[in-house]
A and B are shown apart, each in its own frame.
Chain A
Amino acid sequence: MDRFSWSNGLLEINETLVIQQRGVRLYDGDDKAKLDVGVALLSTHRLIWRDGKNHDCCMAMPLSQIIFFEEQAAGIGKSAKIVIHLHPSPANKEPGPYQNSKYSFIKLSFKEHGQIEFYRRLTEEITQKRWENTPVSQPISTGTGPQTGRTRAVGIVGIERKIEEKRKETDKNISEAFEDLSKLMVKAKEMVELSRSIASKIKDKQGDITEDETIRFKSYLLSMGIANPVTRETHGSGTHYHMQLAKQLGDMLQAPLEERGGMMALTEVYCLVNRARGMELLSPEDLLNACKMFESLKLPLRLRVFDSGVMVVQLQSHSEEEMIASALDNVTEKGSLTAEEFAKLLGLSVLLSKERLLLAEKMGHLCRDDSVEGLRFYPNSF
């Protein structure tokens, strides 16, 4: 109990009240203190106790004095207590109710309960150590660890010191904030390593694992964003998965292709296929790789890339010359056509109709008229 100093109980500018609890009796070690029951106040900086009847009797102790504390459960006829173990007093401690004490711990006895909340708040304050951030003009106690040594310097030196301290503070805050992130990154690295090793194992033991599982595992990998090393093989020597997929696409796309005049943009195919699948959707990469295998698998479909970069899937039976000839006929009939008009005429998408017109132009059958009115195609009379 000799750690306490007399206080007026008023809070300093930076000090905030955290919790107060009445009906608290103080104990010097195991002995009851020669004080009555009072109010215990916990602030960000100190533990304050005020006599319940005599408000002038008020004492405080800096939280930095606290080494650790523990709960003591209530018993028969005994209230619940919090036992607080303390550092020795600093030499410059202000006088308090006790000059000296043979104990280095005190107890707070909660006669009117409230110990749970008080304990919780005390734990918080001791963890946060907010008194270190916003020091109060109290005598410096060297209780726990290095304090920020508030030497009251004035002038430029003082300002410089303050700036330096602020910088250290910010630094600390930032590294604290990113602490969690660095842990996450370490874990992520481990995960990537693990999945890579499993993927390579699968690749080696291709025969042992069933196709289904392989596909499933690959889809998990893909969903995690890790490209399966097996898919990096070049077009022509694709994986089993893609071959199967290509065959499936071959069956599935026959009807829609015929409906649309034998040609569909790859984006349309993607939408159609995934809508049909419902679950186990395809990634664009998978679709592209599967389409690249049409020719080698002798399927009646072809993946075709136009000059502009547009990719389409078209039927093998789809004849280019026929398309161009019919395009020329259409244009001649109408005198001139824009891509949009042509699309409407044929029931195709604007993208595909434009590709067809451009192809006809490339062959020299059409010529273009580019003006503010738009791009129009005429039969090539030159």
Chain B
Amino acid sequence: MSFEWPWQYNFPPFFTLQPNVDTRQKQLAAWCSLVLSYCRHHKLYTVDVMEAQESPVFNNKKIERKLSVEAIQVVFEELRKKGNLEWLDKNKSRCLVMWRRPEEWGKLIYQWVSKNGMNNSVFTLYELSNGDDTDGEEFHGLEDWMLQRSLQALQTEGKAEIIAMDDGKGVYCV
């Protein structure tokens, strides 16, 4: 299924950072959701800022418009504030895009645990992400770093406890 671009993508002003505050807020919201849905569709987790400029997301060759580097930074900052993005380095050249926030993943995992009546048990991380039992779940195939963050979120909520095991980490779900 090919990615469906939102109507703003073909609207030239979309690629100019609007000076009017209200207009800008709407514009940035649209950008955020575009970036997230694109990453989700293509299963992208890390983004390099330099490469991003050339990516079709920020560069619409058909209408010959592209988002400036400054504007891209503004969009990323907005995503970061919302909790969907994490910078991997101080220079802000690479980042993790979490089109689903850790808390949201955590919630899904916990729901699955509860649904199957597996509360008060221990799971290895591998089990959760790649186990047969989780096949078909959205979090199946989730990358390790994302899984860890999600479980940490659950831990913060008091619904899980990450434990160290012989060959890695596991989690105890309440």
Point out residues on A near B: beta carbons under 8 Å: 336, 361-362, 364, 367-371, 376, 378, 380-382
Shortest distance between the CB of B16 and any CB in chain A (Å): 4
In the complex, the answer to whether B16 meets A370 with C-beta atoms within 8 Å is: yes
Judge whether B18 and A367 touch: CB under 8 Å: yes
Given the interface contacts A382-B27, A382-B30, does A367 sit within 8 Å of B13 by beta carbon? yes
Q: How many angstroms between the C-alpha atoms of A361 and B17 in the bound complex?
A: 13
Q: Which residue from chain A places its CB closest to the CB of B16 in the assembled complex?
A: A370
What 1/0 mask marks residues of chain B from 48 to 66 whose CB sits below 8 Å from any chain A CB?
0000000000000000110
Closest to B11 in A: A381
From residue A374, how far is it (CB to closest CB) to chain B in Å? 11
The answer to whether B20 touches A361 (Cβ under 8 A) is yes
Indicate whether B26 reaches chain A with its CB closer than 8 angstroms. Answer: yes
The distance in angstroms between the C-alpha atoms of A380 and B25, with both chains bound, is 13
The one of A364, A369, A376 in contact with B20, judged by C-beta atoms closer than 8 angstroms, is A364
Residues of A within 8 A of B64 (CB): 371
Are the C-beta atoms of A367 and B20 separated by less than 8 Å?
A: yes
Contact of B23 among A369, A370, A376, A382 (CB under 8 A): A382
B119: min CB distance to chain A, Å? 46
Chain B residues within an 8 Å CB radius of A367: 13, 16, 18, 20, 23, 27
Chain A residues contacting B12 (CB-CB under 8 Å) are 336, 369, 371, 376, 378
Between A and B, 12 residue pairs with Cβ closer than 8 Å are A336-B12, A361-B19, A361-B23, A368-B13, A368-B18, A369-B15, A369-B16, A370-B16, A376-B12, A376-B13, A378-B12, A382-B26
Task: List 12 other contacts, CB 8 Å, given A369-B12, A380-B23, A381-B7.
Answer: A361-B19, A361-B23, A364-B23, A367-B16, A367-B23, A368-B13, A369-B13, A370-B16, A371-B16, A378-B11, A381-B11, A382-B23
- Find chain A residues with CB under 8 A from B13 CB: 367-369, 376, 378
B22 at the binding interface (Cβ < 8 Å): yes
Once the chains are docked, how many angstroms separate the CA of A195 from the CA of B81? 66
**Residues of chain B contacted by A371 (CB below 8 angstroms):** 12, 15-16, 64-65
- A-B pairs with the 7 shortest C-beta distances? A382-B26, A369-B12, A370-B16, A369-B13, A367-B13, A378-B13, A369-B16
- Of B18, B20, B26, chain A has the most CB atoms within 10 Å of the CB of B20
